[in-house]
Chain A
Amino acid sequence: MSQKQNIQLPEGSVEKQTTTLNLGPTHPATHGVFQNILEMDGERIVDAVPTIGFIHRAFEKIAERRPYYQITTLTDRLNYCSSPINNMGWHMTVEKLIGATLPKRVEYLRVIIMELARIADHLVCNSVIGVDTGAFTGFIYVFEFREMIYEIFEEVCGSRLTTNMGRIGGFERNFSDIAFQKINNFLKTFPKAMKDFETLFNRNRIFMERTMGVGGISAERALNYGFTGPNLRACGIDYDMRTAHPYSGYQDFDFSIPVGTTGDVYDRFLVRNEEIWQSVSLIQQAMTKIADLDPTIYHADLPNFYLPLKEDVYTKMEALIYHFKIVMGETELPVGEVYHGVEGGNGELGFYLISDGGRSPYRLHFRRPCFIYYQAYPELVKGSMLSDAVVTMSSLNLIAGEIDA
């Protein structure tokens, strides 16, 4: 400080009046590894420069060396708050490439899992908005139900966070009775907790003052920035992959797309809450639909791609041959380019796959929703207070694993 005072500035020059502040890379309020270099005028933000790439793992390069069925584990680690959606999205991309059609029951089971994952994702995001505005109760309250969802995942596939769930053509095993019991139990107990959660926040004066008019963006700008998911719908555009490009039997379901108006933090919060209710309804519908279907079907008849049961490999000739071909990468794959997008927890998660007929993709590009809309962050926070920057960041549902890929 003393040195600075000794500097003689030329007559008429203006000294820098703003303060540079590093928000991140490791900051408890960023909920992930990303840095924002904020330029502060007092407590107002005049500029923000996001820096990303701290946990870049070169998934697109690794995928060029892996057989298709081993890429599922890479997709887990994109948006790890809702990894089953990523897994299913990848399976559907490959199924689109090979032209497979799936039995209805498999599609509906996938809908159940994807909607559970969406609920888990939205619960994390919305309750963390609460934490960042100083309301810890809601977070503790709904995490019990996120735990229940993870127990369902555990029952279905054996793991909780990075699920590696399902295979190309279906699921690796049928849902057990306990899994269905757990889903039914969740459907029975969760709505009450969700109502309580909404009662805590939705009309809470403190919460509303903190979030309304903060981090808003117009529909036009949001579209130009490539927003998708709840963040785009909060601006009033009813673009949802589940209805715009239906996949996995979503066209058979009856559900609505909630939209907001101003695109601010409060609207994003409300849109996510309403989507949770829609997801609950979708799971209920799917449970009713699968009750009439053959309960033994859990994968499509795709012997070239779907690994046979281990006991069949040891006892049946065909199963042994297919097992060998799949594991050694001898399966014939079509040459072509395919893009498949799914509605992930935070937006359109797309897989752009170029196949040259080899055992691994020629090129695989992940369209990661939060990588694309994170570049709007400076515009969202300019002119607002430092505490708004934190709550805007958590309301965008940014997942470092997905941004960096």
Chain B
Amino acid sequence: MTLTNEFIEQKLEGKFADQVSNFILHYDILTFETPVENNLKVLTFLQDDAELGFTYLNDLTAVHYPDRIGEELAVVYMLQNIKTSTRIRLKVFTPIIKPDVFTASNLFLTANWLEREAYDFFGVNFVGHPNLIRIMNVDEMDYFPLRKEYPLEEQTRIDKDDDMFGR
């Protein structure tokens, strides 16, 4: 049996009803969202269900959307069924003032360092992570550099006008 996007969507909606939402096909990958406290339930279901079998965590990262008040930080999981090479993407959103997300490192060993990376750059607090410390940056750093409030260009420069040169 082939694993179609419709089948995955029905299966998830059958299990979680309105707890999973915003199913959208981004190019070739089915993307959906779930409330932040629900992420482990969905991930466990995707991993354990015999028909779905998303046992491989391909990628995990975070994105900062400063304009989405109350859900500024997104954590993006990309899972793959290694047999059928089907991929899906799961997003959870969390407020930046209390960015608590349950860790997936007990389900996927891959997530261990990827979550440390997301913590290092975005400050996502992965609750239950065995070793949530900075991985790339120095330990003394007291900010999260990939957040959008830290522009790359030096702020004292006036010769580069954003109106003229884009973002």
Contacts and interface: CB of A to CB of B under 8 A. Distances in A.
Contacts of B125: none
A96 B114 CA distance: 25
Name the interface size band of chain B. 35 or more
A248 B133 CA distance: 39
Name the interface size band of chain A. 35 or more
A352 B61 contact: yes
Given A96-B27, A237-B82, A226 B152 contact: no
Contact of A60 (B59, B78, B146): B146
B55 A223 contact: yes
B39 interface: no
Interface stretch (A35-43, A143-151, A359-367): A359-367
B127 interface: no
Interface in B51-68: 55-59, 61, 63-64
Contacts of B113: 371-372, 374-375
A245 B152 contact: no
Contact of A225 (B87, B110, B136): B110
A64 interface: yes
B3 interface: no
A56 interface: yes
Interface in A59-97: 60-62, 64-65, 67, 96-97
A382 B97 CA distance: 40
A14 interface: no
Given A53-B135, A352-B78, A360-B166, A58 B58 contact: no
Contacts of A96: 27
Given A56-B136, A354-B63, A360-B166, A65 B110 contact: no
Nearest to A379: B109
14 contacts: A60-B146, A65-B152, A65-B167, A97-B27, A224-B110, A226-B57, A328-B165, A365-B61, A367-B58, A367-B59, A371-B117, A372-B114, A375-B112, A404-B136
8 closest Cβ pairs, A-B complex: A226-B110, A359-B166, A53-B136, A244-B85, A56-B136, A365-B61, A65-B152, A337-B26
Interface of A: 52-53, 56, 58, 60-62, 64-65, 67, 96-97, 221, 223-226, 237, 239, 244-245, 328-329, 336-339, 341, 348, 350, 352, 354, 358-360, 362-363, 365, 367, 371-372, 374-376, 404-405
Given A64-B167, A405-B136, 16 more contacts: A52-B135, A56-B137, A65-B167, A96-B27, A97-B27, A223-B82, A224-B109, A225-B110, A337-B26, A337-B27, A350-B58, A352-B76, A352-B78, A372-B110, A374-B113, A404-B136
